[in-house]
Structure 1
Amino acid sequence: MIDRRTLIVGGAVLGLGACANKFRTYNGPAVTSVVVYKERRRLYLMHENEVLRDFGFELGFAPVGHKQYEGDGRTPEGAYMIDRRNPNSAFYLSIGISYPNNQDRAAAAALGRPPGGDIFIHGTPRAKRRDADWTAGCIAVSDREMEDIYAMVRDGTPIFIYP
């Protein structure tokens, strides 16, 4: 007969094992760039000219056009870098995009607005549906897909975001 203490300890061990799956390993070809096509809703992890993986995604709540200022709901367009990662993101896992650059700051200042920041590729809460744009300007994939992206993409990887 299994006692209550055994059940609690066993449940804790299983729970910790499930958390360990969040951090996958990747031993394939290096991701040399991330290419995003906003209109197509496709994100490609590239090794030189070869597509290693591709993913669908959701964008900000106002997805058309380049991000101009904080709160506009747009996702930046242009050449940036993956510059940080957050294993404790409110959106499961996330990797940061180096927005804003100097040009973005100047354009927002010309409008008298802050440029915003904290643009990421991140997971999707279960409450969000995968058929509508909802982020504040980020690129959202499923949590499972984010595990792969997080494992494959290194800080310093260029990301090219096209309309």
Structure 2
Amino acid sequence: MKRRTFTFGATAALAVAGCSSSNRFQTYRGPEVTSVVVNKGARSLYLLHHTEILKGYNVRLGFAPEGHKEYEGDGRTPEGTYVINRRNPNSEFHLSLGISYPNREDVARAAALGKKPGGDIFIHGQPLTYRPKGGDWTAGCIAVKNPEIEKIYAMVRDGTPITLRA
């Protein structure tokens, strides 16, 4: 009897684990995402096919979200037009898409202040090691929920322009 109970319990546990597992790497076969727009003031990110909004998401920004990023450690999210230039499937934040910050102007602006411009600005999911308690919390990135970054990661290709607006 104990053996039958153990076998049933083990089978049930495996079945539940199989049902709850999520494939982080989704497939997208819809219209091409031709641009990404982030409206910092509204805390929103839009994936566009030309002028048509394909998807919209609520976002969290750098812990000091007002204004353009000026230097490393200022907690601001950049403003301007960049491109998605890399992807990290092994991110500390579930998945992440890199943004081409800093550009030449960003480097010059930081240098004029005697500072480094910083870098490693991403659209990413939630951290793997801790849970933020709401509000803006990143060091300058754009954060979304994990199921959302899975969709964004599948839809957005490297080279896609991203515009970050105040």
Q: TM-score, normalised by structure 1?
A: 0.90
* Structure 2: 5+ residue stretches without partners: none
Structure 1 residue 13: Cα displacement = 10
Aligned partner of 2:160 in structure 1 is: 157
Q: Secondary structure at the match of 1:148?
A: helix
Structure 1 residue 113: Cα displacement = 0.4
Q: What amino acid is aligned across from residue 69 of structure 2 in structure 1?
A: K
Which is further off, 151-160 or 119-128?
A: 119-128
Aligned partner of 1:104 in structure 2 is: 106
Change (3 A) 1:17 1:105: same
Q: Is 1:148 matched up with 2:146?
A: no
Q: What amino acid is aligned across from residue 127 of structure 1 in structure 2?
A: R
Structure 1 residue 17: Cα displacement = 7.7
Structure 1 residue 14: Cα displacement = 4.1
Q: What amino acid is aligned across from residue 108 of structure 1 in structure 2?
A: A
CA RMSD of superposed structures (Å): 2.2
Looking at structure 2, the residues matched to 72 and 112 of structure 1 have their Cα atoms a distance apart, in angstroms, of 13
Q: Deviations over 1:32-80 (max 9, x none)?
A: 0000100011100000000000000100010000000000000000000
Q: Secondary structure at the match of 1:149?
A: helix
* Structure 1: 5+ residue stretches without partners: none
Looking at structure 2, the residues matched to 55 and 25 of structure 1 have their Cα atoms a distance apart, in angstroms, of 19
Looking at structure 2, the residues matched to 90 and 7 of structure 1 have their Cα atoms a distance apart, in angstroms, of 32
Structure 1 residue 128: Cα displacement = 1.6
Size of the aligned set, in residue pairs, is 159
Q: Deviations over 1:5-28 (max 9, x none)?
A: x949x7499469825x11111100
Looking at structure 1, the residues matched to 55 and 31 of structure 2 have their Cα atoms a distance apart, in angstroms, of 11
Looking at structure 2, the residues matched to 12 and 139 of structure 1 have their Cα atoms a distance apart, in angstroms, of 35
Structure 1 residue 154: Cα displacement = 0.4
Question: Larger C-alpha radius of gyration, 1 or 2?
Answer: 2
Aligned partner of 1:76 in structure 2 is: 78
Q: TM-score, normalised by structure 2?
A: 0.88
